[in-house]
Amino acid sequence: MPTLTDRGDAPPIEDAPPQPFDDFDGLLAATTLLQNPRLAREYVYLCYYGPATIQDLIEELSLARATAYDDVERLERLGVVDRDESTRPHQLTAKPFAFVDGREVAITPTLLHAVALTEFDDDAEYFHNRYGVGRLVRAVRAAAEYYAGKLTQRMATEEMDVKPVEGMAIIYAVRPVLEAGRENDPYFEQLISSDPDDLEFDGE
């Protein structure tokens, strides 16, 4: 059965068995984030850059105030965001989790970030709408192998099973996702077969 794990200060996944994180509620949360790019974007922002206030979300993600308040309440109900009511204004935090099937990681903050990208990137939105989440996951992994020098653009496109022009567009679209994930996602190393340090982005 797939298991949602809360990493916290636990050893890396390859070194210790995952600790269960309320499987049913966690699966619901992961599914909801995968299906709602705006919620995924808010979760990833808090996960990477929190603690933050609702006002921070409004300003950084250009959200309407009512939308931000409604979304935060929904994220809290899903159990992926915590609110510290001892502070004024309230501070919001989100813990990274990985959705794993056996020893293979299927969903991490990096992949949720790729879904969030569809909110504002035309190439990512097109790819997601045409091929769905499953192919987007393959695209993120193939793009990582491309930036690690393990695949050419043509090989990465074949790995995704999409047209060459679509593959090239999504490789470049998810580059900021991979850059942010390498810096902030504690599960990033589980996504690709290459060493994350091998990924090279122009301008580094």
Distances (CA, A) of 93 to 46, 48, 85, 123, 139: 6, 9, 12, 30, 29
pLDDT band at 165 (very low <50, low <70, confident <90, very high): very high
Mean pLDDT to the nearest integer, 149-154 = 93
Contact 46, 92 (CB under 8 A): yes
DSSP string, 138-175: HHHHHHHHHHTTSS-HHHHHHHHTS-HHHHHHHHHHTH
The pLDDT value given to residue 194: 75
In the chain, what are the domains? Answer: 14-97 (1.10.10.10), 121-183 (no CATH)
22 conformational bin, left if phi > 0, alpha if psi -120 to 50, beta if neither: left
| Cα angle for residues 88, 63, 65 (degrees, 5° grid) | 50
Quick one: average pLDDT of 102-116?
Answer: 83
pLDDT band at 154 (very low <50, low <70, confident <90, very high): very high
- Find all residues with CB under 8 Å of 151, minimum gap 6, and list them: 142, 145, 159
